[in-house]
Amino acid sequence: MRVVVPFSATEPKTRLAPVLDADERRAFARVMLADVLDALDAVGVDPAVLATEAIDLNRPVTVDDRPLDAAINDLLAASAESVAVVMADLALATPDALDRLFAAEGDVVLAPGRGGGTNAFVARHPDFRVDYHDASIRDHRRIARDAGGTVTEIDSYRLSTDVDEPADLAEVLLHGEGRAADWLRGAGVQLTVADGRTTVERP
């Protein structure tokens, strides 16, 4: 199985601007990537990074500056083996959660993200393709079924949590087991409760 982690190296995580400045967002995105790669290493797969521009990393990095759909779909079309794609901002991903993803049966295994996204998948069907726009989980179910493939969905809070917005940082502080949580604490990001909702602040 080929395991790919797409990484947006150019101005990552702009929606975290209320909490982190541009340099911090870049640094934090790299820490989350490192956590995801560590968790994949621990599962025993060999992840390759697909980045939008060259980054300094002690493992294979393929640079493809096209939009994500084009880059992933070329890869799916060209690969003779099964392909897994795991997003680089799954700061809560653990080896256990990823193990469930890889161990699940089905031609296409989807890990839904909150808000309709698709945070990770395994494609064992030659005709599966991605369409990450809008509520992609619906499109991915349809694409898999239209191709005649069986679809399995993984019920994982950890894999459903991609980190895009300040409130997502609260999830990292509450449940993170990797360096991303430590990085946030080091940056002075703290949990706070406002109007009954848990989010973060930097006092």
Q: Interface with a second copy by CB under 8 A: which residues?
A: 94, 96-97, 112, 114-116, 134-135, 137-138, 155-161, 167, 170-171, 174-175, 191, 193, 197-198
Amino acid at 3: V
Closest CA to 35 of 145, 172, 156, 167: 172
Q: Which is nearer to a second copy, 14 or 62 (CB)?
A: 14
Least separation in angstroms between residue 115's CB and a second copy is 4
Give the E-state strand segments of 94-181 in sequence order. Answer: 108-112, 118-123, 151-153
- Which of 138, 185 has the CB closer to a second copy? 138
Nearer to a second copy, 62 or 150 (CB): 150
Query: Least Å distance between CB 191 and a second copy?
Result: 6
Report DSSP letters for 146-201, one per residue. Answer: HTT--EEE---HHHH----SHHHHHHHHHH--SHHHHHHHHTT-EEEEETTEEEEE
CB-CB neighbours of 179 under 10 Å:
17
* 81 or 155: CB nearest a second copy: 155
**Smallest distance, Å, CB 61 to a second copy?**
26
Instruction: Assess contact for 5 and 36: CB atoms under 8 A.
Output: yes
Q: Which is nearer to a second copy, 125 or 158 (CB)?
A: 158
Smallest gap from residue 60 Cβ to a second copy (A):
29
Tell the smallest beta-carbon distance from residue 6 to a second copy (Å).
17
- What is the three-class DSSP state of 168? helix
